[in-house]
Structure 1
Amino acid sequence: MPDSPRARRSAQPSRFRAHPAQVGVAAFALTIAIGTVLLMLPVARVGPGGSTLLEALFTATSAVCVTGLVVVDTATHWTPFGQVVIVLLIQVGGLGIMTFASVVGLSVLRKMSLRSRITAAAESGSVGLENVRGLLLGIVTTSVVIEVCVGALLSARFVFGYGEPLGRAVWLGLFHAVSAFNNAGFALFSDSLMSYATDPWISLPIAAAVILGSLGFPVLVQLRRFPRLPRKWVMNTRIVLAATVVLLVVGTVYLTAVEWSNPATLGQFAGPDKVLAGFFQSAQARSGGFNTIDWGQMDSASLLGTDVLMLIGGGPAGTAGGIKVTTFAVLFFVLLAEIRGEGAVNVFGKQLARAVQRQAITIVLIAVALIAASTVVLMLLTDFSLDVLLFEVISAFATVGLSTGITASLPVGGQVLLMLLMFIGRLGPITFASALALRQRPATFELPIERPIIG
């Protein structure tokens, strides 16, 4: 009796098919590895010899994961070649490896495989596969336009305000525009942007680029399509915009008030300059990573408040990190509905799916557990205080890049832990989204309902 087609297929050796989530992780890891090799070249470092493996690996990881934590000074350690490598890693990492690869594939081959579309859709925040191409092209266009505009403003300021040569000014403007929009926090000045704390022509364009990048690509694309038609905005866009405004205002008021009289931070400035610096730190705290004041001199209350802002982060499917403002907003509306005794959670006239509520709770619990465990490990490895170590851990996990100045002083084990946190913080949401996109496990039965005592 001849074998059936099904039997013949079973007898054939199975080919390994990587899950899109695995593809995303592998792509980020490969990009980090390539960046590490390039940064280890003698031509990438100022002075004789090349950088150590740890220096190059940490910098490449921080750049690809658009974090900004550093163990060496970007301005003095790296040559122009090394700085170009860093800004390219930032751009590719900010857009997303699969987004970047998909756009290149579309440009060259004019087609995308199903798995590439699924992975790119999860990475870019698309809710479906039918318009992934248009979304990806919109992402690249929006990114380039914003970076060019901000870069031009910064370059003009460096030329006319500080007398920088044109070539140097253009490079400074472009580097910081790319770093800002991608929420990377890398700067070509040893003190980040502290020399420009009272200059609105430097602070405000960079803050604007950080804020736009933190909104997330789906929001930017929709705002570009329907700039004056809020009624066409989806729930995600409305939540992100509302939460961004609220957190910017709350963060500015809180940080400015706490640091107002601190002579080492805002106390040295006049009133308007204090507000400008306070607003700038608030914008950076949610994933930007630049600083115009010394975070190592800030009050512990400011560090704790910034911990909250960093953990919340920015919009989903963008260059910001954290648990995302949508996750925070979902938990807020769940809390509000529970307090009111409502059976359903309603947001902007729409009912929130229960699956979204479960996902939000899961993400927060995993994040808190990972942050707590990592902080304990660093406490065992170092003698730094709890508030400083917690700040460093959350900054790494939320891919923010702010630091009180202890990153380079951590032992090797501590720096490796920060690299893992940056990688997990950047890839975690993408990996989970890709996994959920392919998971189909319809329930065939339901168990009896029972509830424990809560509270």
Structure 2
Amino acid sequence: MTKWRLISASENPARLVLTAFTALIVAGTALLRIPAAFDGTQPSLLDSLFTSTSATTVTGLATLNISEFSALGEVIILILIQVGGFGIMALGAILSVVASHRMGLHQRKLAAAEFGTLDNGVLAEIDLRGILRRVAEITILVELVLGFILFLRLWTGGYENFARSLYSALFHSISSFNNAGISLYSDSLERFSGDPFLLIPMSAAFILGGFGFPIIIEVLRQVRGTATVGVRARRRGLARIDPKRWSLHAKITVTATLTLIVIGPLVFAALEWANPSTLGPLDIGEKLLTSWFQGTTPRTAGFSTIDIGGLQEPTLLFVTTLMFIGAGPASTSGGIKITTFAVLAFVIWAEVRGRNDVNVFGRRLSRGVVRQAITIALLSVGLVITTALILVGTMDVTLTPALFEATSAFGTVGLSTGLTAELNGVSRALLTIVMLAGRIGPMTFVTAIALKKRDLPYRFPEERPIIG
């Protein structure tokens, strides 16, 4: 299969990704303002823009109830979720492959920028066309399987009639795998809070989507390689997956994700177990199910089975932390990404132990990776805190809910204490920008607005200031 050599980017692909997402948001805004897209009173331009941005960036925050949109409006939102979650440039590249079985360098660069395969403006030596084709196959397969499971439960469980069950299953399947957290129901998923046959498949889908396509593809390649060895290997397919052979990226992402999957529900349950506004009135089984769901959804999807506004302040801060971390790179989640968080943790651990090198799973992290992680984290902290302070200054709200809402927008999560529905014009415009920044990534966002990288042709003498 053809491999592409390292090619210097003659233009800024990250800026083009920003432009493409902006164009999709504008198009979505225009479509949501046509009379057939809503029932009753036409939404304001700012509300339409906010809704389009929320769907395109797969965030899920809403200033309008989705019931205010017609069936056409819901379909428009669903399309924005699918296209935005997949990456408009990646989708364009795949459509090009399907149509002509050829892909130009220009499209390869745009898709690589969206999927994080650019290294300082250079295309990595990868089979991008094959990767994008696999991404399309995985996306369609997961959404169809999840949709079928949800349809069976909604229909046989008596929640909806046949047609409505089919439509709702498709909508929530796409929303789940793309980590959008947008629901057709005004109470999100609260009406299903005790139904494991709906919540567990949905949580599995958004956790899978949160790993990121590079991880999924790498594991599938190993399964395929195992399965081609022979009949005995095929029978033992999954058992032959060897994490020791994974890339460092896969090891870090999977380990950190599994760690937070365990910690999240446990901490959530411990903090909310007796809270009469959330877990308190539920029986043991529902408490465990809700703790699992609400402990895993903050890093990715943003669905809710309880009233988020009823959470205690320590829980709000904990959930805020999970939303800030996010999930895997090249996934449908926002935040600083779990690998960034893990790298920072490894840096701290190395410094505490007095090590010059940051060693992880038998590999040494480069200074460039460490520098990027620190840059992304600091830029993100600055953006979230600034946003929260502006919300406090422009609205009658305390810091904790403002910080929660700002992080939810940046992490493209969509959980809300109810503040989003009360946002004024300035705050809505602000969160619209923050959602876009969170979707395309802090580093990509900065690269997109920079003219070009300018390295000095010389180096200054080294000197150490006093730290601490």
Mark the runs of 5 or more structure 1 residues left unpaired by the alignment: 1-16
Counterpart selection for 2:258 from 245, 253, 258 = 245
1:139-150 correspondence to structure 2 within 5 Å: 139-150=135-146
Distance 2:435 2:209 in 1: 18
Which residue is 1:401 aligned to? 414
Counterpart selection for 1:77 from 46, 51, 68 = 68
Change (3 A) 1:439 1:191: same
Change (3 A) 1:407 1:442: closer
Q: Which amino acid aligns with 2:13?
A: P
1:293-340 deviations in Å (ceiling 9; x for gaps) = 001011000000011100000000110110000000000101111111
- The alignment status of 1:88 with 2:79, answered yes or no, reads yes
CA contact under 8 A between 2:192 and 2:198: conserved in structure 1? yes
Which residue is 2:37 aligned to? 44
Counterpart selection for 1:317 from 323, 330, 334 = 330
Distance 1:182 1:294 in 2: 23
Counterpart selection for 1:159 from 142, 155, 161 = 155
Describe the SS at the equivalent of 2:181: coil
Which residue is 1:119 aligned to? 110
Distance 1:22 1:338 in 2: 35
Change (3 A) 1:391 1:134: same
Which residue is 2:7 aligned to? none
Counterpart selection for 2:26 from 10, 33, 53 = 33
1:152-175 deviations in Å (ceiling 9; x for gaps) = 111000011125222111111110
Distance 1:386 1:441 in 2: 39
CA contact under 8 A between 1:285 and 1:400: conserved in structure 2? yes
- The alignment status of 1:336 with 2:349, answered yes or no, reads yes
- The alignment status of 1:197 with 2:210, answered yes or no, reads no
1:129 is displaced (CA, Å) by 4.1
Distance 2:242 2:267 in 1: 33
Which residue is 2:60 aligned to? 68
Distance 1:226 1:443 in 2: 43
- The alignment status of 1:131 with 2:141, answered yes or no, reads no
CA contact under 8 A between 1:20 and 1:116: conserved in structure 2? no
Describe the SS at the equivalent of 2:357: coil
Mark the runs of 5 or more structure 2 residues left unpaired by the alignment: 1-9, 119-123, 224-240
1:370 is displaced (CA, Å) by 0.9
1:119-164 deviations in Å (ceiling 9; x for gaps) = 2112123362431001111111111111111111110000111252
CA contact under 8 A between 1:240 and 1:326: conserved in structure 2? yes
CA contact under 8 A between 1:396 and 1:425: conserved in structure 2? yes
Q: Which amino acid aligns with 2:29?
A: T
CA contact under 8 A between 2:60 and 2:302: conserved in structure 1? yes
CA contact under 8 A between 2:410 and 2:437: conserved in structure 1? yes
Distance 1:445 1:417 in 2: 40
CA contact under 8 A between 2:16 and 2:448: conserved in structure 1? no
Please give the root-mean-square deviation of Cα atoms over the aligned residues, in Å.
1.9
1:12-34 deviations in Å (ceiling 9; x for gaps) = xxxxx752122111110111111
Describe the SS at the equivalent of 1:364: helix
1:360-404 deviations in Å (ceiling 9; x for gaps) = 000011011111111111111111111111100000011110000
CA contact under 8 A between 2:53 and 2:435: conserved in structure 1? yes
Q: Which amino acid aligns with 1:61?
A: T
Counterpart selection for 1:285 from 294, 298, 313 = 298
Q: Which amino acid aligns with 1:79?
A: S
- The alignment status of 1:303 with 2:308, answered yes or no, reads no
1:172-216 deviations in Å (ceiling 9; x for gaps) = 111001001111010011100001111101111111111011111
After alignment, is 426-435 or 391-400 more displaced?
426-435
CA contact under 8 A between 1:125 and 1:218: conserved in structure 2? no
- The alignment status of 1:56 with 2:69, answered yes or no, reads no
Describe the SS at the equivalent of 2:102: coil
1:358-397 correspondence to structure 2 within 5 Å: 358-397=371-410
- The alignment status of 1:218 with 2:214, answered yes or no, reads yes
Change (3 A) 1:210 1:447: same
Which residue is 1:19 aligned to? 12
1:444 is displaced (CA, Å) by 4.3
Q: TM-score, normalised by structure 1?
A: 0.92
CA contact under 8 A between 1:119 and 1:434: conserved in structure 2? no
1:103 is displaced (CA, Å) by 0.8
Which residue is 2:5 aligned to? none
1:267-286 correspondence to structure 2 within 5 Å: 267-286=280-299
Which residue is 2:229 aligned to? none
Describe the SS at the equivalent of 2:157: helix
Change (3 A) 1:88 1:294: same
Which residue is 1:98 aligned to? 89
Distance 2:303 2:344 in 1: 29
Q: TM-score, normalised by structure 2?
A: 0.90
Q: Which amino acid aligns with 1:148?
A: L
1:442 is displaced (CA, Å) by 6.4
Which residue is 1:186 aligned to? 182
Distance 1:416 1:97 in 2: 23
Which residue is 1:345 aligned to? 358
CA contact under 8 A between 2:18 and 2:448: conserved in structure 1? no
1:223 is displaced (CA, Å) by 1.6
Distance 1:118 1:393 in 2: 31
CA contact under 8 A between 1:313 and 1:322: conserved in structure 2? yes
Describe the SS at the equivalent of 2:16: helix
Change (3 A) 1:113 1:441: farther
Change (3 A) 1:179 1:349: same
Q: Percent identity?
A: 43
Q: Which amino acid aligns with 2:317?
A: L
Change (3 A) 1:365 1:149: same
